[in-house]
Chain A
Amino acid sequence: MSLLNAYSVAAAALIAVGAYCVASKRNLIKIVMGIEIVTTAVNLNFIAMGLRGGVLDPLASMYAAVSMAIGAAVAALALALIVQAYRHYGTLDSSKMSRLRW
């Protein structure tokens, strides 16, 4: 059994894309999109890890489904907070929201 297949490589690449997005973008919506890309990548990795000889372990699809639901909850809360942040600051630029430091 090899852990390295096309899907797990794609998942690792997607994680890199998502992490880059979170680290480099200033727009809050784009940061949340980056988090969502990482979530999707981890779900894909579960599917990649559940493939055993071409057959998918039902456990893996269950993990991915539950993790998607959790990811949706986090995204909903994040967007709700972003709406409030926009009302306070009038911008979505995260670099303008750095009143808290040290």
Chain B
Amino acid sequence: MGPQDVLALLFGSSLTIIVADRLGRRLGAARAAGYVTVAALATALLMSSSLPSGRYRPFPATGIPVAELRVDEASRIFSLLFTSLGLLVAIYSLKYMEGEEGLGAYYLLLLLMVAGMVGVALSNDLFTLYCFWELMSVTAYALVAFRWWHWEPVEAGLKYLVMSTLGALVALYAISVIYGAAGTTNFDELRSIFATLGDEEAVRLLAGLLLFGFGVTAAIAPFHTWLPDAHPAAPSSISAMLSGVVIKAGVYAIARALLYILPPTSGIGYLLMYVGLLTCTVGNLAALRQLDVKRFLAYSSVANIGYIMVGIGAGYRAHLLGLTQFALTGVAGAMLHVINHALGKGLLFLCTGSAIHVIKSRAIPDLEGCGRSMRITGISSAIGLLNLAGIPPLAGFWSKLLIAYGLAGMLWDLLVVIALIVFIANAVLAAGYYIYLLMRLFRHRATKANEVSPLMWGPELVLAAACLILSLLLSQVLAHVYTGALALMGVVG
């Protein structure tokens, strides 16, 4: 069993959904399409948890050199993250999306989006990665604009589409130049070809094009402006997917392209670090003035992408200087933060989805006190907020600490010292406003909001438990994350 089977399963069941939706509506089983999605994602999760490492050619007989797939620790971690959050969101949607129009299309798009993300994580070829990337993006645009009878999703979807497509085209242009220079788009072949080139202007230019091309979808500043519009406009279940994992697929593509394919060059490490710092400063400052809870969470996603980029930048810079231990720590911290933020932000968007479902308002003042009346949702969101705030025993603290440690290896460099100070200031500021939001949610009076159905609080509880388990089993998780960082930097695997 290989990665091609996981992808074949996802694509195959997307065809089944169409049939299940038609049949289900005729027979009065409106949830049929949802059940098929849940089953497909559960199977894909089981299959991707036991993928053996290696390179796979799905069509060996045709002799086409592209479409090669790979499995290593990094792609396994990312694909597990994508399928597991997809599964929880699909379960949540069974109740949350009940009674909406076009549910068949909704589940079809959701499953194809997960298939695209898993494909991005598993591909071993730049053009294959681009194809899966566009599958993921196109389904994401359509899901943002899913409630097209309102003005907000349409406008946000259009903005997202124009910006993200242009970014993808910039990345594709870089891919075409790489293909022209090397005659191949295979990751491993490119890595050995580019290793002989070394630190050159052309390599730096390609790295910059790939960073900003993929970076638009990953929402790095100054190309983050679509995110605070698009994520709140989508249904809350989709916001959880977009903020939780779609932007992480962008991070994965950047990390894979810059750390694995292209050789380390001077300057790009600083670029990554400072773009990351700009991203988290912009995200944190803009989050402070939001009254809409979903926009608040969307801006905090921008900020968290910033932390991750700082970690990757620290790893890149340390790798160039030959400080392998610090490089590894920086990239491992970034990967741990990817996991933390995917679980935490997915959880928070599901919780706010439940609260909005009951209270019918997105304004933070209206949501005050609902942490007390909606017990399970309240406690889950408290765990998610504390995890993202980085309160010490929780994993959110350790990921930020690892990123700071990665930076601390190069303290003789003034630019890195400034980066470290700005990074810590941002982390403290973010901790402050998460705690503030937590206090407002639990403040004084309990409203008369009722708890939502178990199909909705179930996934929230699972994600909250996952945040706690991640913190309890930190040493095991760290072992996996370090192996993942090694694979991402091409030291092994």
Contact = CB atoms under 8 A, between A and B. Distances in A.
Does A pair with B? yes
Interface of A: 3, 8, 15, 19, 22, 28, 31, 35, 38-39, 41-42, 45-46, 48-50, 52, 57, 59-60, 62-63, 66-67, 70, 73-74, 77-78, 81-82, 84-85, 88-89, 97, 99-100, 102
A13 to B, nearest CB: 13
Contacts of A77: 138, 141-142, 161
Interface stretch (B84-92, B172-180, B402-410): B172-180
Contacts of A39: 169
Contacts, number: 98
19 contacts: A35-B162, A38-B166, A38-B169, A45-B173, A45-B177, A46-B179, A49-B176, A49-B177, A50-B179, A50-B180, A67-B172, A74-B165, A84-B145, A84-B148, A84-B154, A88-B151, A88-B154, A88-B155, A102-B289
A8 B180 CA distance: 10
A85 B158 contact: yes
Contacts of B169: 35, 38-39, 42
Given A38-B166, A78-B162, 5 more contacts: A42-B169, A52-B183, A66-B127, A99-B155, A100-B152
A48 B161 CA distance: 27
Given A22-B162, A82-B158, A85-B154, A59 B66 contact: yes
A57 B173 CA distance: 17
B65 interface: yes
Which bracket fits the contact residues of B? Answer: 35 or more
B134 interface: yes
Contacts of B142: 77
What is the predominant secondary structure among interface residues of chain A facing chain B?
helix
Nearest to B150: A88
What is the predominant secondary structure among interface residues of chain B facing chain A?
helix
B297 to A, nearest CB: 15
Contacts of B138: 70, 73-74, 77
A61 to B, nearest CB: 12
